[in-house]
Amino acid sequence: MGVSVADLSIEEQVGQTMMISFEGTEVPARITDLVKRYCLGGIIYYKSNCAGGVEQVAQLSTTLQQQAARNRHRIPLVIAADQEGGRVQRIVFNDIPSQRSVGNMQNPQKTYAIARLLGERLRTAGILMNCAPVADVAELSSFLGDRTYSQDAYEVAQHVGAANEGYCAAGLITVMKHFPGHGGTIFDSHVGVFHVQKSYDELMARDLVPFVTHLDKIPAIMMAHVVYDSFDTNHIATISPYIIQEFLRKQLKYQGVVITDSLTMQGILQKTGTLAEAAILALQAGCDILLFGKEILENGTIQCPDPETFVAIHQSIVSAVRDGRITKERLREAVERILGMKTQYCGL
């Protein structure tokens, strides 16, 4: 590894944990400043970033990586997108079906081929991480609906494995989501806090099957903003030290990167109050990458936070490390995983 955690200041280590968003096809000056000054770790794209198709996105990605190369360690960005297929696509490809449509084909080789094709297109656009596959086991009546491969846990596991192989063959970092499984609730964590009241045995027999089957093969896992009463009645999974550190890390022995779902969602903000507190609690609990996507404003508008918001969040996390709320060991552990992933997938 060309860069180690010891080479980075606290400010730069915190920067590496942050994956942020912005509006439009041009990089705002303040985002450029964040990328260079704080050694920012990643960017997640939305449709407004991808309006011009693959060639335009490729140019945007090149510009961002050129800016990252100007930080003092030349650490590349992880550029990510939610590109599941069907209705969840940032670059719209009409020939990429939803995961449920793929699952209905009952042909894992086809699942692999579609994932590899999509992965190759994303790599051409400079996207290095796909926040997919969705490993939740859910009925079509769930808010996830056709974003899931099946309502049968073992079928989901089969397709998740095939999709992961396809994405990895194309050189993408895959993110299996949403751990420990959204399938137990019909409600959307974008808009509120919800509980899954299944027992541990019920979760292990259904919702957790796709995750447990592929933990040793998946580079990254995204947490769910849901309370799982049989694990931790007080915290959503994203900020639960028990679920992340005791269950996922120690019991299930997962070694990869843990990423939050967007910290701008009401499913976490109703628990934490502010974005900065959400970020601090998530990092403290064991998450490695803190994802800041679009937020829903009181008037119903959906947009990315202002770049100045990210500056304030960065400062709050740095203060939490210096004050001891987040231990330096916990921060170091997160950054070591991120740098390891970048070495393997991003040319660090």
| Residues with catalytic roles | 190, 261
With a CB cutoff of 8 Å and minimum separation 6, the contacts of 192 are: 266, 267, 270
Helical H segments across the chain, by residue range: 10-17, 29-37, 53-68, 99-104, 108-124, 153-169, 200-202, 209-214, 241, 266-272, 275-285, 307-323, 328-345
Q: Determine the Cα–Cα distance for residues 118 and 51; give it in Å rounded to an integer.
A: 17
**Strand 295-296 relative to strand 302-303, pairing:** antiparallel
Q: For the chain, first and last CA: distance in Å?
A: 7
The partner residues of 303 in beta bridges, in order of sequence, read: 295
Q: Determine the Cα–Cα distance for residues 310 and 34; give it in Å rounded to an integer.
A: 8
Q: Determine the Cα–Cα distance for residues 177 and 163; give it in Å rounded to an integer.
A: 13
Q: Which two tokens stand for residue 32?
A: 């450029």
